[in-house]
């Protein structure tokens, strides 16, 4: 193999792969990066048997070939290079990375035992990458990071007519987002949130294809394709919110309320619970901790209804309000220990609703 | 006590104190912040029996007084506040922090058992704050972080005629910096590098007073005064470098060499040692690790002398070259296991020299 590539393009592709497929340290082959040079250019691929990602880049191909090298040293070296062009060439049992005045060489791993990336599931539909990234960034906030209950570590991605709906919950909070969906088929999959979180950072604007079959879920964009095994979704989340008993609706500036939550949140007990009291044209936040002291702050709000208050964990309020930054937010409060629903007063795409469960107030 | 203060000013002062005196968690009094309101304004002070810091700010003082409160919650609250003015007022057993629409209250600690800050040692001289901060940021790089050998965790600060000289070493590397000194007396103290590192971030441009007596060292600037107990300096560092045997002098662009060290440093063994070979009009860096692969990079250089090479830990080279960013650097290489000295080809204030010990080359 012998190819010449623009350094920044190849460095970006290698870094993207390393982030999407962090690699299992135990097996160097699965921590490897498969480079395939064909007349069409160069393809980088990684597969840890759960996630499989392939990225294509243009290249001047002097000699075709297929090699497997350690992924992280390759990505680190390419990222640190300042020269505009870089040449990858097999020299004996090494892959040499050559740039003017510099030569780095990585050991070749056995490419024949690498599983490759395989064909993608069929295209189920397409979405706009920018809106999808925004919707993913919102929903992954509500997913659990506790691997002991895998089903709560996923985001349910489901098509319904002309909308793609995403739902995630860790049982204490739930996020729902939806955006326009250009259907070619259907999708209903529980996808690991950790991968979607990274994809939310990488997805460009423009068309993104959504791939799905019974066992796998994938996204394709601009010469890149990422697929993953889906989680067991037989116990699927509900994606409709039933509000039976809303007795108070509050509207306020999301950033102003988030600022107050951040400050009063400094004065909470070990559970991080603060009191939200609904007053006359204002929300009053209260925190108290025997050691830290006590805090009280008021934020102007439109209030409709007679409810007096509710208690929440401050970090859930912070996550919920972050989804509506720069906007007016509506809180629909139900009595007792029923959920409170946050939504935008003037919704934009992707539409988002965030559900937070109340807590018992501090004693 | 009842005072009104500009929030940003008081928040900056409280944060500065918390960073300079991180506080011992065991004793809440020593983790406290002493606030004294007098007709001249408000003074914040902290003292953990090793470090003592006092900062003065203008304030509208409605009622004089002196209180002790937990330092970190106060600093966190003030930093998070968005209102322009803040009022501190004693209410019963609490200090209330009041701003429009908000009230926070911290428990009062027993101010009478707080040691206060005490008088500063006499002024030994003055320096320019900007130059001093730059010289400190450079020298603390070479100080040890290993508290088992306290004398290597300090920077020796010593006046000599019209220069103030700073030296630090962890035995593998040594940094020397000097800057103009306006003497009113003398100073020769071994000062904890961790405090100087923080002071390097906080010192403003303009005149800084240097205070010293047998047991304490201090700096004063714009209404602020920070003092610390000095380290045992009876085994003092040498602040002169004896170069007996320089056989090769190399000059090159510090940033270009630092970039090459960063890249080739990815290909080193567990000790992080790379080879520096002196060629004809170039420096060649080589790294090799049986697992990671091998690397070689050349950087253009002026070479005077016939030495062929030396091996160094890449992180020491990185630290040394960082001191000369944007400049041409001179490397004076001695044979065998003798030190290599880095200096600027065209020195500016503060003048800096950095000494790196060579290592045995990788096998």
Is the domain of A131 the same as that of A162?
yes
Q: Is the pLDDT of residue B145 over 80?
A: yes
**In this predicted complex, what is the ipTM?**
0.82
Answer whether residue A342 is part of any domain. yes
Whether residue A17 is found in the same domain as residue A53: yes
Q: Which residues of A touch B68 (CB under 8 A)?
A: none
CATH of the domain at B252: 3.10.150.10
CA distance A320 to A353: 9
Partners of residue B297 in chain A, C-beta under 8 Å: 101-103
What is the predicted pLDDT for the residue at B42?
Answer: 97
Tell me the helix, strand and coil percentages in chain A, rounded to 5: 20, 45, 35
pLDDT for the residue numbered A52 = 95
Mean pLDDT, all residues of chain B:
92
How close is the nearest chain B Cα to the Cα of A163, in Å? 40
Task: Quote the minimal CA–CA distance from B290 to chain A in Å.
Answer: 9
Tens digits of per-residue pLDDT, A68-123?
999 999 999 999 999 999 999 999 999 999 999 999 999 999 999 898 888 899 99
Chain A interface includes B280 (CB < 8 A): no
Number of compact structural domains in chain B = 3
Same structural domain, B166 and B138: yes
pLDDT by residue (tens digit) across A115-158?
A: 888 889 999 999 999 999 999 999 999 999 888 888 889 999 99
Least confident of A25-34, A191-200, B67-76: A25-34
Q: Which one of A73, A80, A260 has the shortest CB-CB distance to B262?
A: A80
**CA neighbours within 13 Å on the CB side: how many for B13?**
26
- Which residue among B81, B104, B292 sits closest to A73, beta carbon to beta carbon? B292
**Are residues A171 and A190 in contact, defined by beta-carbon separation less than 8 angstroms?**
no
DSSP state of B265: G
A118, part of any domain: no
Domain boundary among A195, A229, A263: A229
| Residues 85-104 of chain A whose Cβ lies under 8 A from any Cβ of chain B | 94, 101-104
Q: Work out the pLDDT band at B361, boundaries 50, 70, 90.
A: confident
Quick: pLDDT tens for A281-333.
Answer: 999 999 987 777 899 999 999 999 877 789 999 999 999 999 999 999 999 99
3-state secondary structure of A321: helix
Gap between the Cα atoms of B52 and B63, Å rounded:
26
What's the domain range around B87?
2-113
Separation between Cα atoms, residue B314 and residue B266, nearest integer Å = 9
| Alpha helices (H) in chain B, listed in sequence order | 7-20, 71-80, 129-139, 193-202, 254-264, 314-322
Question: Does residue A259 share a domain with residue A309?
Answer: yes
The dihedral through the CA atoms of B179, B183, B187, B192 has a sign that is negative
B239: confidence class by pLDDT, cuts 50, 70, 90: low
Residue whose pair of structure tokens reads 């243009």 in the numeric block: A58
pLDDT digits (tens, 9 = 90+) for B303-350: 998 777 899 999 999 999 999 999 999 999 998 889 999 999 999 999
- Residue where a domain terminates, one of B90, B113, B136: B113
pLDDT of residue A235: 61
Rounded to whole angstroms, the Cα distance separating A158 from A178 reads: 9
Is there a single domain that holds both residue A198 and residue A140? yes
- One domain, residues A219 and A136: yes
In a domain, A24, yes or no: yes
A·B CB contacts under 8 A: 90
Residues B18 and B104 in one domain: yes
Q: Is the peptide bond before A173 cis (omega within 30 degrees of 0)?
A: no
Contacts of B260 in chain A (CB under 8 A): 102
Contact A266 B80 (CB under 8 A): yes
To 10 degrees, what angle do helices B7-20 and B71-80 make? 140
Give me the residue from A73, A105, A293 closest to B107, CB to CB.
A293
Residue A242 lies in a domain: no
Judge whether residue B118 has pLDDT over 90. no
Per-residue pLDDT of A54-64, as tens digits, reads 999 999 999 99
- pLDDT in the model for residue A362: 78
User: Does residue B235 sit within a domain?
Assistant: no
Indicate whether B236 belongs to any domain: no
Residue A109: predicted pLDDT:
93
The answer to whether position A191 is within a domain reads yes
Interface mutation target, options B72, B74, B101, chain A, most CBs of A under 10 Å:
B101
Q: Mean pLDDT, to the nearest integer, of A1-14?
A: 96
- Residues in chain A within 8 Å Cβ distance of B80: 259, 262-263, 266
Distance from CA of B186 to the nearest CA of A (A): 45
How far is the alpha carbon of A39 from chain B, nearest alpha carbon, in Å? 28
Nearest-10 crossing angle of helices B314-322, B254-264: 160
- What mean pLDDT value characterizes chain A? 92
pLDDT band at B30 (very low <50, low <70, confident <90, very high): confident
Q: Measured between alpha carbons, how far is A320 from A291 in angstroms, rounded to an integer? A: 28
- Total residue count of chain A as it appears in this document: 363
**Nearest C-alpha of chain A: how many angstroms from B294?**
5
**Distance between A77 CA and the closest CA of chain B, angstroms:** 6
For A170-195, how does the pLDDT look when each residue is reduced to its tens digit (9 = 90+)? 888 999 999 999 999 999 999 999 99
Contacts of residue B329, Cβ cutoff 8 Å, sequence gap at least 6: B251, B252, B253, B254, B257, B321, B342, B343, B344, B345
Structure tokens at A254: 């999301």
pLDDT band, very low/low/confident/very high, at B116 (cuts 50, 70, 90) = confident
Residue B239 lies in a domain: no
The residue that leads in pLDDT, B9 or A31, is B9
How far is Cα A316 from Cα A169, in angstroms, rounded to an integer? 12
How far is the C-alpha of B198 from the C-alpha of B185, rounded, in Å? Answer: 25
Which residue of A106, A263, A277, A297 to mutate against B (max B Cβ within 10 Å)? A263
Q: What is the pLDDT of residue A25?
A: 62
Answer yes or no: do B294 and A104 touch at CB < 8 A. yes
pLDDT at A116: 87
The whole-number pLDDT of residue A270 equals 85
Res B236 pLDDT > 70: no
CB neighbourhood size of B279 (10 A):
13
Closest CB from A81, A267, A296 relative to B263 = A81
Are A102 and B297 an interchain contact pair (Cβ–Cβ within 8 Å)?
yes
Q: Is the pLDDT of residue B237 over 80?
A: no
Contact B259 A296 (CB under 8 A): no
User: If you average pLDDT over residues B153-157, what whole number do you get?
Assistant: 94
Contacts of A296 in chain B (CB under 8 A): 102-104
Q: How far apart (Å, rounded) are the C-alpha atoms in residues B196 and B139?
A: 9
Paired residues of A33 in beta bridges: A69
* Among candidate residues A19, A316, A13, the one with its CA nearest the CA of residue A194: A19
Q: From A81, A113, A145, give the residue that closes a domain.
A: A113
Q: Element (H or E) spanning A183, and its range?
A: strand A182-183
The residue with tokens 């290599």 is B340
Q: How confident is the model at residue B235 (pLDDT cuts 50, 70, 90)?
A: low
Distance CA A229, CA B184 (A): 73
Based on the domain organization, do A195 and A156 belong to the same domain? Answer: yes
Structure tokens at B293: 């692969």
Same domain as A147, residue A53 = no
The answer on pLDDT for B96 being more than 70 is: yes
3-state SS track over B195-244 = HHHHHHHHCCCCEEEEEECCCEEEEEECCEEEEEECCCCCCCCCCCCCCC
Residues of B in contact with A106 (CB under 8 A): 292-293
Q: Report d(CA A254, CA A272) in Å as an integer.
A: 20
Share of residues in chain A with pLDDT > 70 (%): 98
Same domain, A102 and A130: no
SS3 content of chain B, % helix, strand, coil (to 5): 20, 45, 35
Per-residue confidence band for A237, with pLDDT thresholds at 50, 70 and 90: low
What's the CA gap between A232 and B302, in Å, rounded? 65
Residue A349 structure tokens: 């795409």
Looking at the structure, tell me whether residues A87 and A138 fall in a common domain: no
Q: ∠ CA A297-A173-A286 to the nearest 5 degrees?
A: 15
Same domain, B310 and B345: yes
């Amino acid at each position: 193999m012998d190819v010449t590539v623009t350094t920044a393009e190849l460095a970006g592709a290698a870094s993207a792969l390393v982030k999407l497929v962090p690699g299992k340290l135990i097996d160097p082959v699965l921590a490897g990066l498969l480079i395939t040079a064909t007349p069409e250019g160069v393809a980088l691929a990684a597969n840890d048997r759960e996630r499989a990602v392939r990225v294509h880049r243009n290249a001047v191909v002097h000699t075709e070939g297929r090699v497997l090298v350690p992924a992280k040293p390759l990505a680190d070296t390419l990222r640190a290079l300042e020269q505009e062009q870089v040449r990858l060439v097999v020299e004996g049992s090494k892959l040499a990375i050559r740039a003017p005045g510099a030569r780095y060489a990585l050991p070749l791993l056995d490419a024949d035992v690498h599983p490759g990336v395989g064909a993608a599931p069929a295209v189920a539909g397409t979405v706009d990458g920018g809106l999808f990234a925004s919707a993913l960034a919102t929903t992954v906030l509500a997913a659990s990071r506790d691997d002991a209950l895998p089903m709560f570590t996923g985001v349910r991605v489901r098509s319904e007519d002309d909308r793609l709906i995403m739902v995630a919950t860790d049982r204490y909070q739930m996020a729902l987002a939806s955006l326009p969906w250009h259907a070619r088929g259907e999708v209903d999959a529980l996808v690991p949130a950790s991968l979607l979180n990274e994809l939310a950072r990488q997805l460009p604007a423009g068309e993104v294809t959504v791939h799905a079959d019974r066992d796998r879920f994938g996204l394709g964009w601009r010469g890149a394709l990422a697929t993953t095994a889906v989680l067991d979704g037989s116990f699927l989340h509900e994606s409709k919110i039933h509000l039976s008993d809303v007795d108070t609706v509050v509207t306020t500036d999301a950033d102003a309320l988030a600022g107050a939550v951040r400050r009063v949140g400094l004065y909470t007990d070990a559970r991080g619970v603060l009191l939200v009291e609904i007053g006359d044209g204002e929300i009053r936040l209260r925190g108290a901790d025997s050691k830290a002291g006590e805090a009280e702050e008021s934020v102007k709000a439109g209030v409709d209804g007679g409810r007096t208050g509710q208690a929440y964990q401050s970090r859930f309020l912070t996550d919920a309000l972050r989804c509506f930054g720069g906007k007016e937010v509506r809180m629909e409060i139900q009595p007792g220990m029923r959920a409170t629903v946050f939504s935008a007063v003037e919704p934009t795409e992707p539409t988002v609703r965030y559900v937070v469960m109340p807590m018992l107030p501090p004693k």
